[in-house]
A and B are shown apart, each in its own frame.
Chain A
Amino acid sequence: MSQIHVSTTVNGDAVEFLCEPDETLLDALRDRLGLTGTKEGCGTGDCGACSVTVDGRLVCSCLVLGAEANGASVDTIEGLGQGDALHPLQRKFLEHAALQCGVCTPGFLVAAKSLLDRNPDPTETEVRYWLAGNLCRCTGYDKIVRAVIDAAADMRSQAAQS
């Protein structure tokens, strides 16, 4: 089985890799590009630990083929902060103790950013339904939901000041 050559953009950087025709984007990110921040919890699109965005669309990277990333722009947890500066969501997750083991955290952060990109002022219910595709077994979601709402408020007040 010959491999496929893929040219794509990941977190703003142009990258190329070879992958098997049936290889998932998740495996390509982790095994070909060394971006292991994106996690596999199920491989069937049920847990959201592998959440990334492809051309701005939130997807489970375990359900996307690596080959499909050709010509696209992929954003992962590794690109959420800017250098040393954390994204407000990352900061609020730390302040609110919104992670215990932390394995679902990258997926939650990517999914939450995707929510706030679309809706800068979500209600608690909107946060809960948007994040319903991301499983967390440690926290009971309470502190995650609070962190997302607080980050949204923080970002709104920053936007108002700038």
Chain B
Amino acid sequence: MALDDKHGVQTRDFKIVGTRPVRPDGLEKVTGKARFGADMALPGMLIGMILRSPHAHAHIRSIDASKALALPGVKAVVTATDFQDPGDGLRDILENCMAGEKALYDGHAVAAVAAINRSVAKRALALIDVDYEALPHVTDVDAAMRPGAPALHEDAADESVPDGWSKNVVRRYEFGHGDVDAGFAAADEVVERSFRTEAAHQGYIEPHACVASFGGDGQADLWCCTQGQYMVRATCAGIMGIEVAQLRVTASEIGGGFGGKTTVFIEPVALALSRKAGKPVKIVMSREEVFRATGPTSSSSIDVKVGMTKDGRITAGSAELRYQGGAWPGSPVEFGAMSSFAAYDLENVKTVGWDVVTNRPKQAAYRAPGAPMAAFAVESCVDELCKTLGLDPLDVRLKNASRDGSKASYGPTFDKIGLTATLATAKTHPHLSAPLGPNQGRGVACGFWFNFGGDTCVSMNIGSDGTVSVIEGNPDIGGSRAAMSQMAAEELGIPFEKVRTVIADTSSLGYNEVTDGSRVTFAVGLATIKAARDAIEKMCARAAALWGIPAEAVVWEDGCAKPAGPNAGEHEPMTLAEIAAVASETGGPIAGHYEVNADGAGVSFATHVCDVEVDPETGATKVLRYTVFQDAGKAVHPAYVEGQFQGGAVQGIGWALNEEYIYGEDGRLQNPGFLDYRIPVASDLPMIDAVIVEVPNPGHPYGVRGVGETSIVPPLAAVANAVSAACGVRMTELPMSPPKLLKAMSQKTA
């Protein structure tokens, strides 16, 4: 099996990659010892709390904190005036952390206090007087686009936006090729539909938490739960006006992120409070704060048109996508427009995306940001065409699927991809032939995600006893330390247990991009393998020196340096441990390093199949069976690959059926808690079958592709197609909550 010419691996029978060892951080996590964001305390630490706007949109005329500061035990209050303008790149992030002239959404931070304990801090917040002048607000994406809508900013739009829209329309994107009008003319059947999805929150169980300590010497330390300590360092250093080397950021264990911890919310505030008070400051968000003031994903409004011939060939597809991303530009509509039709090899395709601001919290990335809602709209239309034309939804997808060499709707030509392999695997799976009962329906949908590599840096130290430390810089959000240890052990030829992988703070290792884009097992894995090869080269040179032969005459096999052949002479192979034991005499400690801006991440596809039953009396939907088929390239730790498939699918099920941000007429969030923002619970669900398909990625030495995000792309559509089949009405709005389904079914009957 030729996996990777570029990376120098021709064939490989894996010994450790592909097995399911117990994760190295497991024991701490099942015994309560693991330290998450809120589990850190420092001597003399103060507690910080944040005052938040009760208005969706308001001028802040003045803030008077004198009464709060007079309260015994209060050590500092900060507002926007305590921060310098950090410049264009960081201004929006700072304003989201601390409102400037205006509060732009319900829950927007306006002031913060540090006090000797929580109860004093809480009382101090109530003593801060903020004089607001309430302004008209808008939270709906379509309403925000209309001329005359209340405007959040005067000049946030760039030149891509044509005249005639409200000031809330800030970016326009367009992708595609061919002639869609000619394509639709060639179709036997054309479906045109409008769709809406509500904002869903990432819903990580761990609220944001940090402890900041800003010394009088200008050096600062920050502990926080984040998907990227280097991102936190760059952002906070920029906002605080200090050099990056003066700020050391340590990532705690992270209690879920799903994209929501790829930016900062409380960290600059804690640093500012610490600088002002001269003591460490801890801030932990409440769940209500998480819902009101951290990023959910965008809500969307999407029009899709798809044309198909009688035999199931898609002749053209077009989509217009409108995403609101909260109070600043940056909704993931560009990704939505790029990914809408990525699963299809189309001659004629066009997508347009509109980025819109509203009086809602600034959206943050959520697992394959922008793609699930686009796939929901497109896959619903394809499903409807299959039904109208009497065609099998898997056959139609196989017929039109993107494959090796297809020109993607967003521009590039696909390399080795696994979409048809997932479809073909699904086709033969028993799920597809299982019978359905009354009020039950089956839905099929495909999904795509780009995947990402990016800046990555790994160090590997060979211990004198033959054990190995891998030092990487990406918070482990779902078992990645296990995967790194596996790849290091595989490459070095030593047991998994001999490797320990740790996550470095920002001062201990070079820059690493955030844990996002499904990049870690791919990019950090690649760097780990390359760092191992660097160490191997050094160990071979040490053995060569001991044997008195050239380094090129030594090879590494099964964890040993060996003479390359008979000409190299007769020498007993030396194990890694034997070489490490005498390292001091052969040149000093042995370490491997690798730094890269990794490309070749390899795009990812999945096919999902979902069975549901809809209760005609209540409109409640029960998911009966669910199967995920996804290309992992090469599954390093299959149990955690399955976990990514299952977790993404269930997040998508929640988004499809229950989860939504509900805003009142007053522009305030009505359901900022897990009781009313209901994520799936164990009793809502069946087992989620996870089928791993492996089409090796040529861009990785072992063929790995990222798997974290694609799994949330198909479920919105798979569930909607199943529900639509079960109740006989095409559902075009998410979530498909019981009231909506009851209404749709009663209208059908009427």
Interface residues of A (CB under 8 A from B): 1, 20, 22, 27, 30, 35-44, 46-47, 49, 76-78, 80-81, 86, 90, 93-97, 99-106, 109, 125, 127-129, 131-146
Contact = CB atoms under 8 A, between A and B. Distances in A.
Given A44-B287, A101-B204, A142 B688 contact: yes
Pick the 5 closest A-B CB pairs, nearest first. A37-B32, A103-B255, A102-B29, A140-B650, A97-B639
B27 interface: yes
Nearest to B118: A27
A42 B673 contact: yes
B643 A139 contact: yes
B14 interface: no
Contact of B646 (A37, A134, A143): A143
B674 interface: yes
Residue among A81, A95, A141, A142 having the largest count of chain B Cβ atoms under 10 Å: A142
B20 interface: yes
B54 interface: no
B379 to A, nearest CB: 20
Interface string B649-681: 111000000000000000000000111000111
A128 B23 contact: no
Nearest to B639: A97
A78 B31 contact: yes
Interface of B: 20, 22-23, 25-27, 29-36, 38-39, 118-119, 202-207, 253-258, 284, 286-287, 477-479, 637, 639-640, 642-643, 646-647, 649-651, 673-675, 679-685, 687-688, 690
Contact of B20 (A35, A97, A109, A131): A97
B681 A132 contact: yes
B31 A94 contact: no
A145 B682 CA distance: 8
Given A38-B32, A137-B651, 19 more contacts: A20-B119, A22-B119, A36-B36, A37-B31, A41-B205, A44-B673, A47-B287, A76-B32, A99-B30, A100-B643, A102-B29, A103-B204, A103-B206, A131-B682, A137-B205, A138-B256, A140-B685, A141-B680, A142-B690
A101 B255 contact: yes
Majority secondary structure, B binding face: loop
A109 B647 CA distance: 19
A77 B32 contact: yes
Given A39-B206, A139-B643, A93 B255 contact: no
Contacts of B32: 35-38, 76-78, 80, 106
Contacts of B687: 142, 145-146
B43 to A, nearest CB: 14
A43 B39 CA distance: 16
Given A44-B287, A102-B29, A139 B674 contact: no
The A interface, classified by DSSP as helix, strand, loop or mixed, is loop
B46 to A, nearest CB: 14
Contacts of B25: 102
A86 B29 CA distance: 12
B26 A94 contact: yes
User: Max chain A CB contacts within 10 Å: which of B119, B202, B284?
Assistant: B119
A81 B33 CA distance: 12
A127 B286 CA distance: 29
A80 B687 CA distance: 27
Nearest to B482: A97
B23 A129 contact: no
Contact of A132 (B22, B34, B207, B683): B683
B30 A101 contact: no
Contacts of A93: 26, 30
Contacts of B646: 139-140, 142-143
A159 B267 CA distance: 50
Contacts of B684: 132
Contacts of B31: 37, 77-78, 80-81, 86, 90
Contact of A104 (B20, B205, B253, B254): B205
Contact of A94 (B22, B35, B287): B22
Contacts of B479: 97, 100
Contacts of A86: 27, 30-31
A145 B203 CA distance: 20
A98 B32 CA distance: 15
Contact of B203 (A1, A81, A137, A146): A137
Contacts of A47: 205, 287, 674
Contacts of A78: 31-32
A102 B253 contact: yes
Given A77-B31, A127-B682, A141-B650, A46 B674 contact: yes
Contacts of B255: 39, 41, 101-104
A136 to B, nearest CB: 7
A131 B647 CA distance: 17
Contact of B683 (A76, A128, A140): A128
A105 B30 CA distance: 6
Contacts of B36: 36, 39, 103
A36 B35 contact: yes
A146 B26 CA distance: 17
A101 B206 contact: yes
